[in-house]
Chains A and B, each alone.
Chain A
Amino acid sequence: MSAPNKSYDPVEVEVLKPEAVEKARDEALAAIAAAADLDALHEAEIAHAKDRSPLALANREIGALPPAAKADAGKRVGQARAAVSRAVAERRAELAAERDARVLVEESVDVTLPWDRAPRGGRHPLTTLTERIAEVFGALGWEVNEGPEVEAEWMNFDALNIGRDHPARSPQDTFFIDTPGYDPDVDDGRDALILRTQTSPLQIRSMLTRKPPLHMVSIGRTFRTDALDATHTPVFNQIEGLVVDEGIGMADLKGTLDYFVQEMFGAGLTSRLRPNYFPFTEPSAELDMQCFVCHGSSVGDPDNPCRTCSSEGWIELGGCGVVNPRVLVSVGIDPERYSGFAFGIGLERTLMFRHGIADMHDIVEGDVRFTLPFGVEI
Chain B
Amino acid sequence: MRVPLSWLREYVDLPAEVSGRELAEKLIPIGFEVETVHSSGAGLSGPLVVGHVLEIEELTGFKKPIRFCQVDVGAENGGVRGIVCGARNFKAGDKVVAALPGAVLPGDFKIAARKTYDHVSDGMICSARELGLGDDHSGIIVLPSDVPVGADAIELLGIRDEVLDIAVTTDRGYCLSMRGMARETAIAYGLTLRDPALLDTPAPTGNGFPVTLADPTGCDRFVARAVRGIDPLATTPLWMQRRIQLAGMRPISLIVDITNYVMLEIGQPLHGYDLHRLTGGITVRRAAPGEKLTTLDDVERTLHPEDLLITDGSGPIGLAGVMGGASTEVHEGTVDVLIEAAHFAPATIARTARRHKLPSEASRRFERAVDPNAAAAAAQRAVDLLVLLGHGEADPEVTVASTQPHPPAPIAIDAELPGRVAGVAYERAAVVRRLQEVGCSVEGTDVLSVTPPTWRPDLTDPNDLAEEVIRLEGYDRIPSRLPTAPRGRGLTLRQRLHRRVGRSLADAGYVEVLNYPFVGKAELDAMGIPETDARRSALTVVNPISDEQPQLRTTLLPGLFATLRRNVGRGFPDVALFETGLVYQPRPGASAPPRLPVDRRPTDEELAALESALPDQPRHVAAVLTGTWERSGWWGEGRAANWADAVEAARTVAAACGAELTVDQEQYEPWHPGRCAVLSLDERIVGYAGELHPKVLEQLGLPPRTCAMELNLDALVPETEVHVRGPRVSGFPVAAIDVALVVSREVPAADVESALVAGAGPLLESVRLFDVYEGDRIEAGSKSLAFSLRLRAADRTLKADEVAAVRDAAVASAARHTDAVLRG
Contact = CB atoms under 8 A, between A and B. Distances in A.
B592 A146 contact: no
Given A121-B507, A121-B576, A158-B595, A178 B541 contact: yes
Interface string B574-588: 111110011010000
Given A116-B631, A251-B481, A277-B169, A148 B617 contact: yes
Interface in A96-154: 113-124, 126-127, 131, 134, 138, 140-144, 146, 148-154
Interface stretch (A30-38, A45-53, A163-171, A290-298): A163-171
Contacts of B566: 365-367
A238 interface: no
A189 B596 CA distance: 8
Given A117-B638, A249-B420, A251-B422, A213 B485 contact: yes
B517 interface: yes
Q: In this complex, which of B545, B592, B633 has the most chain A Cβ atoms within 10 angstroms of its Cβ? A: B592
B591 A190 contact: yes
A141 B487 contact: yes
Contacts of A372: 511
Contacts of A243: 483, 485
B115 interface: no
Contacts of B540: 177-178
Given A138-B490, A250-B421, A191 B541 contact: no
Nearest to A283: B467
A150 B596 contact: no
B594 interface: yes
Contacts of B567: 366-368
A248 B463 CA distance: 13
B503 A254 contact: no
B173 to A, nearest CB: 11
Contacts of A376: 502-503, 506-507
A249 B423 contact: yes
A248 B483 contact: yes
Nearest to B507: A121
Given A274-B475, A277-B171, A329-B599, A252 B481 contact: yes
B42 interface: no
A252 B576 contact: no
Given A113-B634, A283-B467, A367-B567, A165 B351 contact: yes
Interface residues on B, range: 35 or more
Given A165-B351, A275-B475, A277-B170, A119 B480 contact: no
B649 to A, nearest CB: 11
A29 interface: no
A154 B595 contact: yes
Contact of B482 (A191, A255, A274, A367): A255
A59 interface: no
B483 to A, nearest CB: 4
A3 interface: no
Interface stretch (B23-31, B447-455, B754-762): B23-31
B610 interface: yes
A2 B582 CA distance: 99
Nearest to A252: B483
B461 interface: yes
B521 interface: no
Interface in A336-375: 339, 364-369, 371-372
A175 B563 contact: no
User: Interface on chain B toward A: helix, strand, loop, or mixed SS?
Assistant: loop
B189 interface: no
Contacts of B629: 118
A41 interface: no
B523 to A, nearest CB: 16
Nearest to A368: B511
B617 A149 contact: yes
Given A175-B543, A208-B601, A330-B599, A247 B513 contact: no
A273 interface: yes
Interface stretch (A4-12, A63-71, A82-90, A319-327): A319-327
A161 interface: yes
Contacts, number: 308
Contact of B595 (A144, A190, A282): A190
Interface stretch (A20-28, A72-80, A179-187): A179-187
A330 B576 contact: no
B570 A152 contact: no
B539 interface: yes
A95 interface: no
Nearest to B607: A208
A138 B541 contact: no
Contacts of A151: 614
A56 interface: no
Contact of A273 (B30, B475, B485, B613): B475
A72 to B, nearest CB: 55
Nearest to B623: A121
B491 interface: yes
B513 A283 contact: no
Interface in A176-228: 176-182, 189-193, 195, 208, 213, 215, 221, 225, 227-228
Contacts of A141: 484-488
A181 B600 CA distance: 25
B536 interface: no
A311 interface: no
Contacts of B634: 113-114
A249 B503 contact: no
Nearest to B486: A213
Contact of A250 (B478, B510, B514, B542): B478
A225 B466 CA distance: 34
Interface in B513-556: 513-517, 539-545, 552
Contacts of A227: 545
A117 B539 contact: no
A326 B488 CA distance: 27
A285 interface: yes
B631 A119 contact: yes
B539 A154 contact: no
Nearest to B463: A282
Nearest to B610: A152
A124 B347 contact: no
A256 interface: yes
Contacts of B464: 282
A310 interface: no
A193 B552 CA distance: 12
A270 B545 CA distance: 38
Contacts of B614: 148, 150-152, 193
B635 interface: yes
Contact of B479 (A251, A284, A325): A251
B398 to A, nearest CB: 33
A282 B422 CA distance: 11
Contacts of B172: 277
Contact of B503 (A123, A146, A158): A123
Interface in B107-163: none
B805 interface: no
B630 interface: yes
Contacts of A247: 420
A332 interface: yes
B354 interface: yes
Interface string B617-657: 10000000000011101110010000000000000000000
Q: Which 5 A-B pairs have the closest CB atoms?
A: A332-B601, A251-B423, A275-B31, A366-B513, A283-B467
6 contacts: A141-B485, A178-B541, A255-B482, A275-B475, A366-B566, A371-B513
Interface of A: 113-124, 126-127, 131, 134, 138, 140-144, 146, 148-155, 158-159, 161, 163-165, 167, 170-172, 175-182, 189-193, 195, 208, 213, 215, 221, 225, 227-228, 234-235, 243, 245, 247-252, 254-256, 258-259, 270, 272-277, 282-286, 322, 324-326, 329-332, 339, 364-369, 371-372, 376
Given A250-B423, A254-B478, A366-B513, 11 more contacts: A122-B506, A138-B491, A154-B593, A176-B541, A177-B542, A178-B540, A191-B592, A213-B485, A245-B483, A274-B28, A331-B601
